[in-house]
Amino acid sequence: MEKDQQPEEILNSREAVTRESGKKGLNLPSAIIIAAIIIASSIFINRGNAGSLGQSSETPLDLVADVTEEDVVRGDPKADITIIEYADFSCGYCAKYHPTLQQIVNESEGKVRWVYRHLPIFNKEAAIASSCVGKLGGDSAFWTYADSLYLNKDKFSSDFYRSEAVKLGIEEAQYDYCIGDQILKSKIDREFTEARLLLGFNATPYTVIVDKAGRKFSFAGALPYTELKVAIDGLAK
């Protein structure tokens, strides 16, 4: 933010973010910056429709499942701020958003953790493959695998998913067995049901931010780094 610019001037210059579905949402970056400013003053926005950063008074954010050992986490597991991303590996906006979240976590000095949950609107096979890598290789392997998938969306195939898993030290036979694991598939189905049916998230990526007081805020779309950083910094105060 330039010193001479007022927040209103910056907000008015922002364009609305387009959802993955192709529908234009509200002015997400504006809402994020407004929320950060207001939150810093201990006043809260109570709108939770897609396109704004809102608390759960008008949205079912209380239905967002708590983070458990079943979740894959990037960053300090005890971080004050939690970013829960609902995403699909075949989603173009998710691929664009992925390095933004990486940068946020890497620069947070342990204050932010990132939880990945599957909302496979387009590609359930990649969700299963990545979950198998996480199950067999741990969270670190999952995130390395996820990074690779988002960088190689044009190569997606069953053979590619397998070969990328093997590169991470996963035995091919174990991977092939895991692909048919019904318990693992049920976990992905639960995450999909939570996001799509209970919470009404109909686009990817969809983000829920939980602050250290347990308040939940949500928005749809691939926010640029600068807007998301403002929101995170505001919630961390």
The residue among 89, 78, 234, 219 whose CA lies nearest residue 160 is 89
17 touches 222 (CB < 8 A): yes
Rounded to whole angstroms, the Cα distance separating 236 from 35 reads 12
More confident residue, 189 or 18: 189
Q: Which residue has the higher pLDDT, 201 or 43?
A: 201
Tell me what pLDDT residue 236 has: 82
Query: What does the pLDDT average to over 50-54?
Result: 40
Which helix or strand (DSSP H or E) is residue 74 part of? strand 72-75
Residue 24 — very low, low, confident or very high, per pLDDT cuts 50/70/90?
very low
Q: Torsions phi, psi of 192, nearest 5? A: -65, -45
Mean pLDDT of all residues belonging to the chain: 80
Radius of gyration of the chain (CA): 18
> Minimum mean pLDDT among 38-47, 82-91, 135-144: which range?
38-47
| 139-153: average pLDDT | 97
Under a CB-based contact definition with an 8 Å cutoff, are residues 38 and 44 in contact?
yes
More confident residue, 18 or 207: 207
First to last CA, the chain: 18
pLDDT above 50: residue 36: no
Asked if the model's pLDDT at residue 55 lies above 60, the reply is no
Q: Quick one: pLDDT at residue 51? A: 37
Determine the average pLDDT of the residues in 27-56.
Answer: 37
Is 71's pLDDT higher than 90? yes
Domain boundaries in the chain?
7-236
Structurally, at CATH architecture level, domain 7-236 sits in: 3-Layer(aba) Sandwich (3.40)
Q: Provide the angle, in degrees to the nearest 10, between the axes of the packed helices 172-179 and 158-167.
A: 130
Residue the block writes with tokens 């189905």 = 189
Please check whether residue 200 is in contact with residue 5, taking contact to mean a CB–CB distance below 8 angstroms: no
Q: Distance between CA 89 and CA 205 in Å, rounded?
A: 10
- Selected residue with higher pLDDT from 202 and 16: 202
What predicted TM-score, i.e. pTM, was given to this entire model? 0.77
Residue 20 reports pLDDT greater than 50:
no
Q: How confident is the model at residue 209 (pLDDT cuts 50, 70, 90)?
A: very high
